[in-house]
Structures are given as structure tokens and as C-alpha cells.
Amino acid sequence: MNDLQRLKEMGITVWDVRRPECYPDVSPQPVSLPDDCKLLLVCESKPTEQEALLFSKVLASMKLSVKQALHLPPQAVNLLDKHQLEWCWFAGTQQMDIDGVKMLTSPSLAVLENDQFAKKQLWQQIKQYES
């Protein structure tokens, strides 16, 4: 069994080699999203249970379900393959360009949870696309 198969079996589909010079034969694989994925949450780590509750409330306000959203770490955004995304939400990380996608930025979900002003700014960004 090779290393890529081991990673896949462990559920690790997005990874980054810290010292690529040690692995000349390994190239980053494109990240494929399911066709029903409409929103991509880009942040350093997967939401905690508490953060996931806030995330699901924001999705509901956008008329999206949790099943239509996925998390991706920032270093994997450049590896995106063809997709059907409508939204990309950068939470606590620098925004990157993704053509044809509505972009949202906010502090991390942990900060957003307790910051009413940041929540209001996020809501205004969402509403801006509706008009």
C-alpha cells in the first residue's frame, strides 16, 4: 500500500507536503467537489460543534443546507478542480479569487460567534448579493 492510499483510507483528501524537495515525484492533486456543493467554507480548521451551529444558521439564512457546504483549508483553494460553487466564505483567512463565485469574508467562526458587529457585516455581504 502506498502513502496516498493510506491517506485516503484515513479520510485525508487534502494535504500539503511541508518539504516538497524531499518528494520530487509527489505533485498536489486537484480537489474535486461534489456537484451539490454550493458553498465552500475556507478556514484553518473544521468548525467545532459550537461553531457548526452558527455555520448552519448562516447557511439557513442563505437558503442552503449543511449538505450543500464543505470545509477546505486555505492552502487547498488553489487546487480546486471544476466546480458548481455559488459561494465561497473565507473565515479568519485571507480571501483568494475564485472566478464566478460570490465571496464572503469574516473573522474566524470562533470570533464571529461572539462579535455582533462582525455578524452584521457578514449579513450585509450576503444581502448585497441578493439585490
pLDDT in tens, 104-126: 999 999 999 999 999 999 999 99
DSSP 90: E
Q: Name residue 91's beta-bridge partners.
A: 106
Q: Tell me the three state secondary structure of residue 117.
A: helix
13-22: per-residue pLDDT in tens?
Answer: 655 555 555 6
User: Of all residues in the chain, what percent carry a pLDDT higher than 70?
Assistant: 79
- Which domains occur in the chain, in start order? 39-130 (3.40.50.10220)
Backbone angles phi, psi at 30, to 5 degrees: -65, 150
pLDDT for 2 beyond 70: no
55-67: per-residue pLDDT in tens?
Answer: 999 999 999 999 9
